[in-house]
Amino acid sequence: MTAGVALRPFAHAWFCYFAAIGAFSLYAPLWFREQGLSALAIGSIASLQSWTRVFAPYGWAWLADHSNRRRTLLRLAGGLCVLFALALALTGRYGVAAVTLCAVLLWAANGAVMPLTEASLAHQLNLAEGGGGAGGRYGRTRVWGSVGFATSVLLFGALLNALGVLAWPWLELGLWLLLSVALWRLPLMSEAAHHASAPAGALAVLRRPEVAWFFAGVFLTVLAHVSLYAFFSLFAVSFGMSETTIGLLWSLGLLLEIAFFWTQGHWFERLSMHDWLVLAAVVAALRFGLMAAFGGYMVVLLLTQLTHAVTFAAQHAACISLVARYFPGRLRGRGQALYTTLGYGASGVVGGVAGGALIERWGYPAVFWASSGSALLAVACLLRSRRCARAAA
C-alpha cells in the first residue's frame, strides 16, 4: 500500500469531522433559538465544547494508550456521536435541559476523535522523526479538515435557506453518520507493547522543562486566538461591516490555512519546529495588536487575515510534530489529548469568560490588546522551551 492510499482514510475522517464541527458551531445556535432557548442558554450550550475538552480527550486517550485499542475506541466514539446527535434531534423540543444533556454527551463522545486520530496519523507518518517529507504528507492529509469545514459551512447555508432551520439537526446527524463510517475505515494503528524511548508516564514527560514551557506557550498562543473565534464577527459588526464582508474575511483566512497545509512540506524544511512556534506567536502578537489599534480599517483586517496561515496552520502543524516527538509509543494518545486539553480546552474556557468581561468593561479593542499580550507571553515561554530543548539534546 502506498503512503497516499494509506493516508486516504485519515483525510476522509478529517473532512467529515470538521464538516460536522463547522455545521454545528455556525448553525446550531439558529436551531436552538427556533426551539425557544434564550440567548443565555444558547451561549452556555455553545461553551460546552470547551468545557468537555478539559476532560474528555484525556479520558479517551488514557483508555486507548492503556488498552492499545485505539481503532476500537474510535469506532465506539463514532457510534456514540451518531446516537447522541439523533437524541439531540429528537429531544430539542423538550427544553434546555434535554438539549444541554445531549450536547454534553455529543461533545464528550467526539472528544475522542482529535487525540486518537492525530495519534494514529502521527504513528502512520512517523512524525516523531520530523522532516519535511512527513510534515508535507501530514499537511496534505490535515488540509481536508479545513476543506470539510468550509464545505459544510457553505453547503449548510444554502440547504438551510432552502429547507428551513428546523432541518439542521437531521443534516447534522448525516455528517456524524459519515464520520462514523470514516472512523470505521481507519487502519489498525497499534503501538508496540514497550517502546524504548517512552518514559514511565505522560505526567513524567509533562514535568520536563522543555515540555512544560512548550505547553505554556501553546496555551497562551491559542488563548490569544479565542478573541478571534469568539468575538471577531461582533467586533467587525461594531464598525458597521456587513455579514457578507465578515464572511469574506473568514473565507480569506481559511483559504490561506488550506494553502499552507497543502504546501507544508516545502515550508517546514526552512525552520525547526520550535522556531515555527516562536514565529507564529510573534506574528500573532502583531496581528492582534494591529486589530486592536486599527480594526476599523478594512485594509488592516485584510492584512491580519493573511497571517492566519502562520498563526494557526503553521503553529498547529509544529505542535503536532513536537507532541509526537515528546510522547512516543504508547504515550502518543495522551500526548495529543494534553495538546487538545491544555491548548484548546482550558484556553477556550478562560478566553471566553475573560474576553466577555473585558468587552463589557472596556469594549472590543480591549480583548484584542489582551490577545496581543497573551501572544507576547507565549513568545517568552516558547523561547524558554527552545532553550531547554537544546540544552537537553
Residue 1 pLDDT exceeds 60: no
The pLDDT, as a whole number, for residue 29 is 78
Between the CA of residue 339 and those of 83, 206, 227, 264, 385, what are the distances in Å?
27, 11, 19, 20, 15
Cα angle value 25/26/27 (rounded, 5°): 105
Task: Give the span between the Cα atoms of 268 and 5, in whole angstroms.
Answer: 23
* pLDDT band (50, 70, 90) for residue 191: low
Lowest mean pLDDT among 11-20, 285-294, 332-341: 332-341
**pLDDT, position 142:** 85
Residues 6+ apart with CB under 8 A from 336: 57, 61, 114, 115, 116, 118, 119, 122, 320, 323, 327
Instruction: Identify the pLDDT of residue 273.
Output: 92
How much is the pLDDT for 4? 47
pLDDT score of 198 more than 50 = no
pLDDT value of residue 137: 80
27: Cβ–Cβ under 8 A, 6 or more apart, which residues? Answer: 156, 157, 160, 165, 168, 172
Q: pLDDT per residue over 63-78, tens digit each?
A: 888 888 888 999 999 9
The answer to whether residue 195 scores a pLDDT higher than 80 is: no
| pLDDT-wise least confident of 8-17, 40-49, 328-337, 371-380 | 40-49
> What is the value of pTM for the model shown?
0.80
Q: Locate all alpha helices (DSSP H) within the chain, ordered by sequence.
A: 3-34, 39-46, 48-67, 70-91, 96-110, 113-125, 132-163, 168-184, 202-206, 209-237, 243-262, 264-268, 273-294, 298-306, 308, 315-326, 332-338, 346-362, 364-392
Question: Is residue 371 very low, low, confident or very high in pLDDT (cuts 50, 70, 90)?
Answer: very high
pLDDT single digits (tens) 243-281: 678 778 888 888 898 999 888 878 888 889 999 999 999
- Reported as a single tens digit per residue, the pLDDT across 327-363 is 887 788 888 888 988 888 888 778 877 887 888 889 8
Condensed to tens digits (0 to 9), the pLDDT of residues 378-393 reads: 999 999 999 999 998 7
Q: What is the pLDDT of residue 43?
A: 66
Q: What is the DSSP string of 137-191?
A: HHHHHHHHHHHHHHHHHHHHHHHHHHH-GGGHHHHHHHHHHHHHHHHHTSPP-PP
What percent of the chain is modeled with pLDDT above 70?
92
What's the rounded Cα separation, in Å, for the pair 349 and 276?
A: 26
- C-alpha 185/C-alpha 182 separation (Å) is 5
- CB–CB of 98/36 below 8 Å? no
Q: Where is average pLDDT lowest: 102-111, 171-180, 249-258?
A: 249-258
Assign 128 a pLDDT band (cuts: 50, 70, 90): low
Confidence of residue 144 (pLDDT cuts 50, 70, 90): very high
Closest residue by Cα to residue 75 from 173, 182, 183: 183
Q: Could you read off the pLDDT of 309-323 as tens digits, one per residue?
A: 999 999 998 998 899
Is the pLDDT at 61 greater than 60? The verdict is yes
Whether pLDDT at 290 is above 90:
yes
